Amino acid sequence: MNALNGYDYEDLELGMSATFDRTITEADIALFAAASGDNNAVHLDEEFARTTQFGGCIAHGMLTASVISAAIAGRLPGPGTIYLSQNVRFKAPVRPGETVKVTVTVKELQPGKQRVSLTTVCTVQDKVVVDGDALVMPTSLARRVQ
């Protein structure tokens, strides 16, 4: 493990997994809209959103997917990890007040480059709302500056 309690590449094994939960609030949605510039009314205007197929406001898909980043940075592999790529498939909407549970699992170790492929799954209760995979570069004992 590294100094901030993350896993170095050398600590990782196939099948290791970790979870992270985050409740998405109306404030999160408003702040994400402000930060991203995505002001789609389906996220911000309840009256408009009620006229859509969703029947009310939903979180931005990328806000939901961003919780994956928190799981990777905070849990597995942990602090110091660099995100290289992420594929996401949006399966269902997330509504304000719902708790997103992210599970990241080591699916492949690439020793030559010390890269790690992870499966990434976001659920609300037991329903998958986002899934995909990520490629990351965790900290490494071999790359650590002494």
According to the model, what pLDDT value does residue 5 have? 73
Helices 26-36 and 61-74, axial angle in degrees (round to 10): 100
Distance CA 67, CA 115 (A): 21
What value does the mean pLDDT take over residues 29-44?
Answer: 98
Q: Which residue has the tokens 């939901």?
A: 64
Strand bridging mode 115-124 / 17-23 = unpaired
CATH number of 9-24+59-137: 3.10.129.10
What value does the mean pLDDT take over residues 40-56?
Answer: 97
According to the model, what pLDDT value does residue 143 have? 73
Domain range list for the chain: 9-24+59-137
Q: Can you give the pTM of this predicted structure?
A: 0.92
pLDDT in tens, 73-122: 999 999 999 999 999 999 999 999 999 999 999 999 999 999 999 999 99
